[in-house]
Amino acid sequence: MGALLIVEQILNGIQLGVTLFLMAAGLTLIFGIMNMINLAHGSLFTIGAYLLVTFQKLTGSFVLGLALAVPAAALFGVLLEVVLVRKLYTRDHLDQSLATIGLILLFNEGVRFLWGKFPLGVTLPDVLAGSVEIVPGSAYPAFRLLVIAIGIAVAVGLWLLVAKTRIGMLVRAGASDREMTQMLGINVKRLYTIVFALGTALAGLAGAMAAPIVGVQSGMGDGVLILTLVVIVIGGTGSIRGAFIAALVVGLFDTFGRVLLPAAVASMAIYILMAAVLVWRPEGLFGVRA
């Protein structure tokens, strides 16, 4: 493998990794704080992509479409949490899994009804549709570089939010001891809504950023959800740092595996990696030991 191809695959792996991080960050907070298994998180990824398509069509601008799609996804998350998800917090994990699997079917059919059965495309502005020469003789798509930059910026922003703000303090407290947090007078119901909306916004952003690369179609988030769950298991539930590092590892591992390994082996590579991590650290790289 030549040096230029290695650089390109490293960037591809990082781009996949930051996309997985956007998904995993919200999902790991939802599970870590609410003890809620949300298997419909991949559908929120899909909805983010369709919202981008809709707002781009309305405004005629990719940038405005993206700027509107993310808060719209957050608002959708608020409505979903208040109307349905809130009722699942006291149920066991089996009930949560079954209910959110039902949401997957509902959302997949819903987007087919609203936007049609055929895949949709996203038009990038000229400045993002071209390539950037990262090293002499090797050009890399400008939009993929933007995805990497946004993913890293979001990771830094989340770290600042969780580590340096009052909301972050409440999030950390809720993740450590939900009952004690409630006894101290914290409005846990409101905290749950905020966290779920944040997780939905991140999933929507991930879907919107992936839309120009993979196309927009019903069920596009289902495969991403599987990789996201692998990231959370490897990184450790409830850990933003673990989600970020594990997402990059999985992104690079999956990208190079598909280049270097036979197809049958490459499709299993990340699961072999997950099994190896669990043998070494059953709680994940940055999970808390029971």
Residue showing tokens 């940055």? 286
pLDDT, one tens digit per residue, over 54-76 is 999 999 999 999 999 999 999 99
pLDDT, one tens digit per residue, over 84-113 is 998 998 889 899 999 999 999 999 999 999
pTM of the complete model beyond 0.75? yes
Backbone angles phi, psi at 142, to 5 degrees: -65, -35
In our burial notation (b when 16+ CB lie closer than 10 A, e otherwise), range 131-151 reads eeeeeeebebbbbbbbbbebb
Q: Which residues of the chain fall short of a pLDDT of 70?
A: 1-2, 172-179, 181-182, 184, 288-290
Backbone angles phi, psi at 205, to 5 degrees: -65, -45
Backbone angles phi, psi at 216, to 5 degrees: -115, 120
For the chain, the distance separating the N- and C-terminal CA atoms, rounded to the nearest angstrom, is: 43
The CA distance from 202 to 164, in Å, is 19
The CA distance from 182 to 213, in Å, is 43
The CA distance from 72 to 6, in Å, is 38
